[in-house]
């Protein structure tokens, strides 16, 4: 016995009705047409504004360059006068002889250790010959590696240890230099004589009276072709002495593209008046470094660690993150302007934890914090600000979240802006007066809109003594959040 199905009753369809339904559009009122047109135009304008407000990867990188489109942090340093070079011969042959059936085998990296030497000066600079694209003769090799700064109790002098790594031949040298102002330098150089001696010239420029040796790597067996450009890996270890009194340096400067910079925990044992670090395509890492003023720049590599500075600190990268903890002190008087901290990158995160303080008791300080990235998140936490101190803060990104946490001692106005996201203002409750005067805190909202929030926060009664701080936090097409 199977299932019994009852046929459904189907009403006949009038063909004229089908033609009427399919062939005619429903009537719309004039008001609906106007509203639809206005919404379409409005959405187009918003998308156009968002597109213009965003920052492309190419535009973001251009922001990191100078007006001529060149990277300012990889220009070679002023060398000064050559004092002494320390390269030792790694072997009797500085390059390998290649047989006729050369099979392009990979050569292992070998190292030669140079003699330890000392630096006698209170202003130091370090540099390396620039990479090939910055030099007139592209056939020359390049150097890369790392420079390490640490403290040691093994000596009461500043010592330098160097190693040169090579595969076929050593093309570089480590030398000391001296400038007219007395600054002492260390340079990783590629002497021109090495290129002339080891086949740096093209075969077509060969002197017919002095042909290449038959076993020269660029000789007859290779048709004069250059396909073994040597790159040396160099490591410098600079050790500062430990003593009861901190070591004071007037300046420490590096111009070392392709060199990783690594600072140990120098803390307060090494105090630097002016710190200027410049690299490219290599990271800069700091365990702890202290300077009155500091400028730290690289590109395509991270800058990370703990930096402590007074009055001026600039940290710049591009296409790589900035992840730092900063102790920033103002020693400026009230009429001397703001102590300025700048963090800039593009296409990568900025994460910073910042402690603001002053060196004196008569003035609470004036601070300016400027941060910029694009296409990546921005996250700032201001741990402390002296009560009564003034803070101006600009935080900008695009196409990624922006988040700033302020200390409860902050007083001033704030503005949040974004597109297509609701700004978030987080207000802490039950906070104590940072000045211990029993004051109540007021948080005012002057404007609350889908794309922005304006407001002000202050302690007690607002008067002429209330700090006139300001915070502007901006992104596009992403969330924005401020905690006060």
Tens digit of each residue's pLDDT (9 = 90 or more) over 6-17: 444 434 444 444
List of E strands, 220-365: 231-241, 247-255, 259-265, 270-278, 284-297, 303-316, 322-330, 339-344, 350-358
Q: Are 212 and 219 in contact (CB under 8 A)?
A: yes
The Cα 383–Cα 369 span in angstroms is 13
In the block, which residue shows the tokens 């601070």?
Answer: 367
Q: How far apart are CA 338 and CA 315, in angstroms?
A: 17
Q: Which two tokens stand for residue 113?
A: 């250790």
> pLDDT by residue for the chain (484 residues), tens digit each?
444 434 444 344 444 443 333 334 445 566 555 555 554 445 444 444 444 444 444 444 444 444 334 443 345 558 899 999 998 644 444 444 444 444 445 789 999 999 999 999 999 999 998 655 555 544 568 899 999 999 999 899 999 999 999 999 999 999 999 999 999 999 999 887 544 333 333 333 344 443 433 333 333 444 444 446 789 999 999 999 998 789 999 999 999 999 999 999 998 999 999 999 999 999 999 999 999 999 999 999 999 999 999 999 999 999 999 999 999 999 999 999 999 999 999 999 999 999 999 998 889 999 999 999 999 999 999 999 999 999 999 999 999 999 999 999 999 999 999 999 999 999 998 899 999 999 999 999 988 777 899 999 999 999 888 889 999 999 999 999 999 9
User: How far apart are the C-alpha atoms of 236 and 120, rounded to whole Å?
Assistant: 17
Residue pair 242/266 in contact by the 8 Å Cβ criterion = no
Which segments of 54-205 does DSSP mark as H helices, in order? 57-62, 192-197
Question: Which helix (DSSP H) or strand (DSSP E) does residue 145 occupy?
Answer: strand 142-152
Beta bridge partner(s), residue 323: 304, 351
Count CA atoms within 13 Å of residue 365 on its CB side.
28
Bridge pairing between strands 284-297 and 270-278? parallel
d(CA 360, CA 335): 14
- Asked if residues 278 and 314 have their Cβ atoms less than 8 Å apart, the reply is no
Nearest in space to 408 (alpha carbons), one of 483, 479, 341, 333: 483
For the stretch 16-52, pLDDT in tens is 443 333 334 445 566 555 555 554 445 444 444 444 4
Q: What are the tokens at 327?
A: 């102790």
At 435-455, the pLDDT tens digits run 999 999 999 998 877 789 999
What's the pTM value of the predicted model, to 2 decimals?
0.79
**Cβ 267 vs Cβ 178: under 8 Å:** no
Nearest alpha-carbon partner for 336 in 362, 365, 360, 308 = 365
Instruction: Tell me the three state secondary structure of residue 432.
Output: coil
**Euclidean distance between CA atoms 274 and 70, whole angstroms:** 24
The Cα-based distances of 452 to 442, 455, 482 in angstroms read 20, 10, 12
């Amino acid at each position: 016995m199977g299932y019994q199905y009852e046929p459904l009753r189907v009403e006949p369809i009038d063909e004229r009705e089908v033609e009427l339904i399919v062939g005619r559009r429903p009537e719309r009122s004039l008001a609906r047409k106007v509203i639809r047109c206005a919404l379409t135009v409005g959405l187009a304008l918003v998308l156009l504004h968002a597109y213009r407000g965003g920052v492309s990867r190419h535009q973001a990188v251009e922001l990191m360059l100078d007006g001529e489109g060149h990277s300012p942090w990889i220009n070679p340093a002023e060398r000064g006068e050559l004092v002494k070079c320390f390269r030792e011969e790694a072997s009797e042959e500085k390059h390998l002889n290649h047989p006729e059936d050369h099979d392009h085998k990979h050569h292992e990296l070998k190292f030669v250790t140079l003699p330890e030497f000392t630096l006698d000066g209170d202003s130091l600079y370090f540099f390396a010959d620039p990479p090939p694209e910055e030099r007139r003769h592209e056939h020359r090799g390049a150097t890369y590696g790392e420079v390490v700064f640490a403290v040691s109790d093994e000596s009461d002098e500043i010592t330098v240890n160097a190693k040169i790594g090579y595969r076929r031949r050593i093309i570089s040298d480590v030398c000391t230099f001296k400038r007219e102002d007395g600054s002492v330098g260390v340079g990783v150089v590629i002497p021109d004589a090495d290129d002339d001696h080891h086949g740096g010239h093209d075969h077509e420029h060969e002197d017919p009276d002095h042909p290449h040796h038959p076993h020269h790597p660029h000789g007859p067996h290779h048709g004069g072709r250059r396909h073994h450009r040597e790159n040396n890996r160099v490591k410098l270890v600079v050790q500062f002495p430990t003593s009861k009194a901190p070591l004071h340096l007037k300046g420490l400067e590096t111009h070392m593209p392709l060199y990783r910079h690594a600072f140990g925990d120098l803390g307060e044992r090494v105090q630097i008046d002016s710190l200027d670090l410049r690299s490219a395509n290599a990271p800069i890492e700091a365990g702890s470094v202290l300077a009155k003023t500091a400028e730290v720049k690289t590109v395509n590599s991270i800058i990370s660690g703990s930096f402590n500075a007074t009055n001026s600190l600039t940290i710049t990268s591009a296409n790589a993150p900035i992840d730092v903890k900063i102790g920033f002190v103002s020693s400026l008087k009230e009429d001397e302007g703001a102590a300025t901290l700048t963090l800039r990158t593009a296409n990568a995160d900025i994460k910073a934890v910042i402690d603001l303080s002053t060196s004196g008791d008569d003035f609470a300080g004036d601070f300016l914090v400027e941060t910029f990235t694009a296409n990546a998140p921005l996250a700032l936490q201001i741990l402390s600000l002296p009560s009564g101190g003034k803070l101006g803060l600009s935080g900008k990104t695009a196409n990624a979240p922006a988040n700033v946490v302020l200390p409860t001692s902050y007083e001033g106005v704030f503005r949040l802006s974004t597109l297509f996201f609701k700004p978030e203002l987080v207000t802490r409750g039950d906070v104590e007066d940072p000045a211990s005067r029993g004051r109540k805190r007021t948080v005012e909202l002057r404007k609350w809109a889908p794309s922005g929030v304006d407001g002000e926060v202050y302690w007690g009664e607002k008067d002429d003594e209330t700090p006139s701080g300001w915070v502007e936090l901006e992104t596009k097409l992403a969330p924005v959040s401020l905690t006060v």
